[in-house]
Structure 1
Amino acid sequence: MISVRVNRHRPAALPDMAAFWGVGFTLGVFMFAASAPAPLYRVYAARWHFSALTLTAVFALYAVGLLIGLLVTGRLSDHLGRRPVILASIIVEILAMICFILANSTALLCVARSVQGVATGCALGALSAALAELSESKGSLLGTVVVSSAPPFGLALGGLGSAALVQYGPVPLRLVYWLIIAGLVVGAAVVATTRETVERRPGALASLKPVIGIPPEARSTFVAILPSLIALWALIGFYLSLGPGLAASIEGSPNLLWGGFAVFCMCFCGGTAVVLGRQAAAPRAMFIGCLALFAGVGLTFIAIVAGNIALFLTGSAIAGVGFGLAFLGNVRAVVQVAPPAQRAGALAVLYIVSYLMFSVPIVIAGIAEAHISAHDVALIFSGSVTLLAAVGIAASLTQRTRPTPAVQAASTRPEHSGAPTKAP
């Protein structure tokens, strides 16, 4: 196989910083799309008469598709380059949005959610790596900040924006998907005019063989971040699937905005925490994040028992701060220690674990709802996440990340004129 070298000094249509923000916008659109169906689940369930178990199965199909995308293509952009993988993912995501627009049954909804999961799984590793590399060349920490904040901001706007459009806008089951398609088209235009950030190298076909592996340099770091990673994404899954219905039942209102606002409170506060805590070193971010997660989810547990919506939203906001800071610490820790040539693959594994925890607990919760009340399921779920957050606090105290020699060497190559990407 012929190795094609990409000229990293070739003039690009977009300056690196403009391209960086455009790629960050594209990641945000993918995350917006991920949470957009959440407020519509109650509408779909009422229209097509499916149960809570069916709802969680539809939700899980997204995560299954995403895991397939990550497993098969997680390392592909390390070989083909970031741009072709991102552009292909955008095309598949647009096809998923068209399936949502045409959906007239549970079957087509399942197809749409599955295809969307595959597209998102293909995009995440490449988008995250591209962001790290576009900012790394200028010695900036922006890459890990945007990689960490785009998901919660995107999820926040997707949950609330979709709820508002469904409640008050025209064609409630379709408009949000047309808007997502428009955002994806803009993202594709940006990516197409962005310079390639890695050299193309042999092994693209071999990279499609599913491999779950962390570079040796990053393994101890990955073990340390695992408890917080599980807690964070189990919580996100809970809010995007069962959270809207739970918030509405606590408030006793049929207005879909209550569910969207619960998602918004948690995710927007998470994104804001990432921006405000962007200078924090990985261990400190994880420690404070897990502490806030413990307090916030504990408060939502009390709110569910008391049936108090104000307390529930307050707990959601505090838990969101924990999600944002801990996820920032997780991403920064992995980016610091993973060699550049294996960075997309390492980030893909991080997302694989994240989305397993995003989906599996929710499927279990859906099955449990057939035997116990949704109220009791929510209590068990929030109690479990609180316990995991406590484990994450302890694990974060042992974490001391340092850039590996491979990362340091890559940072001092001639094409990198700035400082290496590392936490202060």
Structure 2
Amino acid sequence: MLQRQRGRVWWGAGAAVAAVGWGAQQFAPLLLMYRAELGVSGPTVQAVFAVYVVGLIPGLLFGGPVSDRYGRRPVVLAALAASLAASALLLAGGHGVVWLFAGRLVAGFASGAGFSAGAAWVRELSAGTVDGGERGPRRATVAMTAGFGLGPLVAGVLAQWAPARTVLPYLPHLLLALAALPLVRRTPETRSPVAGGGSLRLPDLSSRRFRTVVAPLAPWVFGTVAVGIAYLPGLVAPRLGGYVLIFCTLITLLGAAAGIAVVPLARRVARAGSRRLLATALSIVVVGLLVAALAAATTDPLLVVAADLVLGAAYGCCQVCGLTEVQRIARPGQLAGLTAAYQAISYLGLAAAVPLAAADHVVPPGVLLLGLAALAALTLAVTSHAERSTGA
């Protein structure tokens, strides 16, 4: 019984990470809806989507060090409050695009602070359980990915069929985040506040393994997500008729489900050594991009679904690999800060769809994705060599 209670102690932190992830991704399937509702241009809608990263990076880089100094709970509670504020701003988005910009910016900051402190909290709460070193990164990945998948699913379904389509999609997240607040308050703190003054320090990135293995891997975590849910659906949109919104919702859900489903496999591979997990993760990225290239060349919606499933699996495996590596190399007191640095680099991958969309007017999308697959293969070769030279 005691072991079972210890196994559940991370649930409050996990619920917070899932709630923040829900708030981060609920906007994804609604892009085309706002373009029609507000009459704004495509580039404006894409700018609304991208401004999330502007808030995310400082949230990641400062949320981790702040939680290292003052504790996980205060930062996670603040992130939940910011996530609630973001959805409240997005509720007003039907009245003007400025509310969407504000809501996405705040959502980015909430995600940065919540993911850096929350993921570290989940891993620390898992450390006292059997196989805690393996389960911590897995639990953090599952919590984050569950929010990423369920948020767009619920928001997309409500936007497709419910009334008040610019309001109702955000209400479930408000309820979820409110419900997570008391759970977080009851979750044990794992970091005591550090006494004394002094300025906050940005994460120490001096580790050679971080610079040569983790950093090159990181952009592929969300680079696969960008290709799967942001780039590929637009290529087949003319063939979907009035079902573009629900197709985008389905794609987002399937990608997240694949990311969760692959986690047990990643855990088993990790037991055989970090080298094998790294090779497996990046190999799945290469395969997913090859399938994506075929889908782009044929503009077949079913192939887009297939590519999205493989890319979702690549996301999950890369995320477990990256978090496991960070946990391995982080020095005492620096776990959240180094996690934040890793996640900041990983989120740069969300920009992958921008150059692809800009270039596919002169280069066929299938060729562009083949080039991206070649870049992933090069990353596999480089990081595998670096992994051998820095030790398993």
Q: How high is the TM-score relative to the length of structure 1?
A: 0.83
Report the CA distance between 1:205 and its aligned residue.
6.5
* 1:148-186: CA deviation from partner (whole Å, max 9, x where unpaired): 233333222223332212112232222221111111112
Q: 8 Å contact 1:283–1:401 — kept in the other structure? A: no
Deviation string, structure 1 residues 208-267 (Cα, Å, up to 9, x no partner):
x6x3532x4x43244213333222322323444444434433444434111111222222
Task: Mark the CA change 1:20 to 1:204 in structure 2 (over 3 Å): closer, same or farther.
Answer: farther
Distance in 1 (CA, whole Å) between partners of 2:159 and 2:169 is 8
| Structure 1 SS opposite 2:269 | coil
- Alpha carbons 1:42, 1:245 under 8 Å: kept: no
Counterparts of 1:307 and 1:188, CA distance in 2: 44
Matches within 5 A, 1:59-138: 59-103=49-93, 104-138=95-129
C-alpha distance in 1, partners of 2:347/2:257?
19
Tell me the equivalent position of 2:213.
Answer: 224
What pairs with 1:393-404 in structure 2 (closer than 5 Å)? 393-398=380-385, 399=387
% same residue: 25
Equivalent position of 1:392 in the other structure: 379
The amino acid across from 1:227 in the alignment is P
Partner of 1:146: 139
The reply on whether 1:173 has 2:163 as its aligned counterpart is no
Q: C-alpha separation between the residues in 2 aligned to 1:291 and 1:238?
A: 16
Q: Which residue of 2 aligns with 1:265?
A: 254
> What pairs with 1:306-321 in structure 2 (closer than 5 Å)?
306-321=298-313
Unaligned 5+ residue runs, structure 1? Answer: 1-13, 404-422
Say whether 1:57 aligns with 2:47.
yes
Q: What is the distance in 1 between the residues matched to 2:152 and 2:171?
A: 16
Count of matched residue pairs: 382
1:96-123 CA-to-partner distances (Å, cap 9, x unmatched) read 1100112211111000000111111111
Q: Secondary structure at the match of 1:372?
A: coil
Instruction: Give the corresponding residue for 1:245.
Output: 234
Change (3 A) 1:247 1:204: farther
Structure 2, gaps ≥5 residues long: none
> Which range moved further: 37-46 or 377-386?
377-386
Q: Does 1:305 align with 2:297?
A: yes
Q: Is the 8 A contact 1:59 1:241 kept in 2?
A: no
Partner SS for 1:159? helix
Q: Give the structure 1 partner of residue 317 of structure 2.
A: 325
The offset of 1:389, in angstroms, is 1.9
2:191 is paired with a residue whose SS is: coil
Instruction: Name the SS of the counterpart of 2:267 in structure 1.
Output: coil
Q: 1:378 to 1:153 in 2, by over 3 A?
A: farther
Report what 2:11 is aligned to. 21
Partner of 1:416: none
Return the structure number with greater helix share. Answer: 2
| CA 1:246–1:337: 2 relative to 1, 3 Å | same
- Alignment match, 1:383: 370
Q: Is the alpha carbon distance of 1:189 and 1:312 closer, same or farther for their aligned partners in structure 2, counting shifts above 3 Å?
A: same
Distance 1:136 1:16, change over 3 A: same
Could you tell me which amino acid in structure 2 is paired with residue 394 of structure 1? A
- Name which of 234, 240, 264 aligns with 2:223: 234
Q: Is the 8 A contact 1:283 1:396 kept in 2?
A: no
Deviations 1:325-345 (CA, angstroms, capped at 9, x unpaired): 122111101111112310000
Match for residue 155 of structure 2 among 162, 167, 174: 162
| Among 326, 329, 332, the residue aligned to 1:340 | 332
Q: Deviations over 1:338-391 (max 9, x none)?
A: 1231000000000111122223x344456x27x938xx5754653343123212
For 2:345 and 2:65, the matched residues in 1 are separated by 15
